[in-house]
Amino acid sequence: MTNKNENNIKMLTLNNGMEVICSVTDTQDEWYTIQNPVACSHDTETNRLNMSPLFRFGARDTDILMSTKRIDVVYSPTDGLTEEYIDVFVNPKSETLSEATPDGHAHDAEDTKKTTKKKTTKKKTTKKEKVEV
């Protein structure tokens, strides 16, 4: 399982232009072993960062081998981005939050604080009396 060590959280710029934040668990000459890769993109209309799992159907903390031929640049992300990535994708505090993130929509502090409550309404039932004639 991926630990909270922020030193192994890296941003990878792939040769197709995609920016990926992930946990790098091992590096070799031709391969990077990564876990929990998340594509990052900037929504210019809302000025928000979108984070979407790269492999939507992959299990959390699964080792993924990525060829170094696909990677152009490797660098450390900002502290804020690292913290959000760890909180949401590596060590989520609730299943609700982790289930909400694969939609690719950005989540900010206010979004994560909001909870949806179901409204319950009671149906009025009336008893009909049988009247004999």
Residue among 112, 116, 114 at smallest CA distance from 88: 112
Which tops the pLDDT comparison, 74 or 2?
74
Instruction: Please compute the mean of the pLDDT values over residues 12-36 and round it to a whole number.
Output: 97
Q: Are 92 and 84 in contact (CB under 8 A)?
A: no
Confidence of residue 92 (pLDDT cuts 50, 70, 90): confident
Distance CA 86, CA 22 (A): 9
Q: Quote the percentage of the chain above a pLDDT of 90.
A: 62
Question: Quick check: 72 and 104 in contact, CB under 8 A?
Answer: no
Domain residue spans in the chain?
6-103
Judged by phi (left if over 0) then psi (alpha if -120 to 50, else beta), residue 81 lies in alpha
Q: Which residue has the tokens 């409550």?
A: 117
Comparing 83 with 103, the larger pLDDT belongs to 83
State the average pLDDT over residues 96-118.
Answer: 44
Q: Do residues 84 and 108 lie in contact, with contact meaning Cβ atoms separated by under 8 Å?
A: no
- pLDDT of 95 reads 56
pLDDT tens-digit readout, 46-76? 999 999 999 999 899 999 999 999 999 999 9
Average pLDDT, the chain: 79
CA distance 120 to 62: 40
128: confidence class by pLDDT, cuts 50, 70, 90: low
Task: Quickly name the fold that domain 6-103 has.
Answer: SH3 type barrels. (2.30.30)
